[in-house]
Amino acid sequence: MPGNTPVARETAEVPAQRSAPPPAGDRGAGRWTVLVVLCASLLLVSVDATVLHVAVPAVSQDLQPTSTQLLWIVDAYPLVCASLLILFGTLGDRTGRRRVLLLGYGIFALASALAAYAHTPETLIGARALLGVGGAMIMPATLSILRQVFTDRRERALAVGVWSAVAAVGAALGPLFGGLLLEHFWWGAVFLINIPLMAVSLPVGRRLLPESTGSGDGPWDVLGALLAAAGLFGVILGVKQAGDGAPLAPGTLLPLLAGAALLAAFVRRQRRHAHPLIDMKALARPAFGTSLGCIVLTVLALVGLALLAAQYLQLVLGLSPLETGLRLLPLSVAAIAAGLVGARMLRLMGPRLMVALGFGVTALAVLCLIAVVGQDDRPVLLVGAFVLLGFGLETTLFGCYESMLSEAPADRAGGAAAVGETAYQLGAGVGIALLGSVMNAAYAPGVRDLPGVPSAASRDAGHSLGEAYGVAERLDGVAGEALMAAARSAFVHGLHVTLLVSAGLLLLGALAALRLPGSADTARRPADPPRPARGEHGPRGAREQREQPAKGAGALLSSGAART
């Protein structure tokens, strides 16, 4: 087995971090306790990511946001989170991953309270952005600590399988908790569930989680981290504005061009810097760069569909929020199963076949949804499609993260985790903008120029299905019923078109997966020799090369099913 190779046995004895106290993973069974605490962190983030989906109609009714504001309410979290992941991931490598993680806990709790009691769309958007700051601190730190604690490859594979299953559990609990709370309370209660989790996670994490840093050689590149944050923010903001229907407007082109220029400056700086935040050479390796591209394609194709699915189940089929959560539960259960068997599938198939198979199964599920989704409820067929969707999604992301992390040395675990999470969040931001744009383009013509419906009412109804229902309630009986019927039909048509686009992106991902290594063993290449510190020569450089941690083959769903 790969975990019993001579290289693995030799490097397992080399300390993965240069921390003062021995990490919990070296003290026996304590590493499994650490895993429980880290899984609680993931549960927090994954529940919060999905709990808002079933609350969108209630938020729309209460706060009356415009269609753009509604997209910002959903998209502010991934936009801010993606922008800051590299900054906080590499900061944790330098200053301490547990320290960054605990600070993220506190910010997440504060932002949850602000979101729960928001009285305007602008306040809710700001609170969601602050949640993104907390999430950017939590995500890379938890993966870095997991990588540090589990030095044995087979144990780490089991640990990330449990981790992935917890992510899927969070995806299941989010809609269920949200639906249950919305049955008895106002929509803000969906954010309050974070606060008791934080009240437990903060003291427990402070007491049980090990502190660790990376190699610590050289100063932290503050300017590079800020360039990455600003560049990612500009690119995702520009794509989002383009998705709102203004691809050539100054508000779209300026952020895109500025973001692209800043990211180009970031890449140039990393190539020349003595102690770069990101190893740019790793991005050219098939196991790393292709995995990142596949992650982006997977999330881009699917993340917007989760929001559309919740709206379809509630607004077209008329299900309650709790019923919507229950209907989406099979997707998360299937993802749990895929997470638990992911390590074994990876050993049998290798990254290339596993990721390609995951893309194929997910594309098949999307095509099944095209045949199933309509104005009539077909619960059994919907459940079957959701099961395929969840299993294929988790299989794809598991294989992608394994291939990516197999290239990452342990002393840069935070940076590697940040790159993977950035790819995920970038795909999420682009996916919501792209699929939202496709959906709006296919939906809006279906509610225009309806007989008996004023043109102003038709124009307002063309923004979203929820807004169409609000307009229809203000019209008289015949016109209102005609508008509601046309809006439902147009929404189903738009959903079909969006699903077709998603299927095409997934098939493109299956082709891209052919560049991945054929087996997990071939994916694990020797680490590049670390660069000696400036002003020091031979002996230290050789010693640092001997101390270079082995590259593991861990994988992580990264709450994939949860975020979708």
**pLDDT per position as a tens digit, 211-222:** 777 655 666 778
200-213 mean pLDDT:
82
Scan for tokens 């209102």, then name that residue: 480
Identify the CA nearest to 445 among candidates 458, 434, 436, 456: 458
Q: How confident is the model at residue 341 (pLDDT cuts 50, 70, 90)?
A: confident
Q: Contact 76/199 with Cβ under 8 angstroms?
A: no
How much is the pLDDT for 157?
A: 65
507-529 mean pLDDT:
70
How much is the pLDDT for 86?
A: 79
Q: Contact 447/483 with Cβ under 8 angstroms?
A: yes
Identify the CA nearest to 335 among candidates 395, 385, 384: 395
Q: 97-106, 138-147, 221-230: lowest mean pLDDT where?
A: 138-147
More confident residue, 170 or 258: 258
**pLDDT per position as a tens digit, 55-74:** 777 888 888 888 778 877 87
Q: How confident is the model at residue 23 (pLDDT cuts 50, 70, 90)?
A: very low
**CA–CA distance from 277 to each of 89, 92, 476, 532 (Å)?**
9, 12, 61, 16
How much is the pLDDT for 308?
A: 74
List Cβ neighbours of 150 (8 Å cut-off, separation of 6 or more): 25, 31, 35, 156, 159, 554
Question: Interhelix angle for 465-474 vs 56-63, to 10°?
Answer: 50
Specify the pTM: 0.69
Work out the burial of residue 91: count CB atoms within 10 Å of its CB; fewer than 13 is exposed, 13-18 middle, 19 or more buried: buried
Long-range contacts of 466-473 (CB under 8 A, 24+ apart): 466/56, 466/57, 466/60, 466/61, 466/311, 466/315, 467/60, 467/67, 469/315, 470/61
**pLDDT per position as a tens digit, 452-500:** 778 888 888 887 787 788 888 888 778 888 888 888 888 999 889 989 9
More confident residue, 222 or 51: 222
What CA dihedral angle connects 402, 403, 408 and 410, to 10 degrees?
20
Torsional sign, CA 541, 546, 548, 551: positive
As a whole number, the mean pLDDT across the chain is 75
Amino acid at 455: S
Whole-angstrom distance, CA of residue 241 vs CA of residue 259: 13
Q: How confident is the model at residue 25 (pLDDT cuts 50, 70, 90)?
A: very low
What CA dihedral angle connects 563, 182, 307 and 310, to 10 degrees?
120
Half-sphere exposure of 47 (CA within 13 A, CB side): 26
How much is the pLDDT for 8?
A: 37
Does 554 have pLDDT greater than 70? no
How much is the pLDDT for 417?
A: 63
**pLDDT per position as a tens digit, 348-395:** 888 889 999 999 999 999 999 998 888 888 889 988 999 999 899 888
DSSP helix/strand/coil, 97? helix
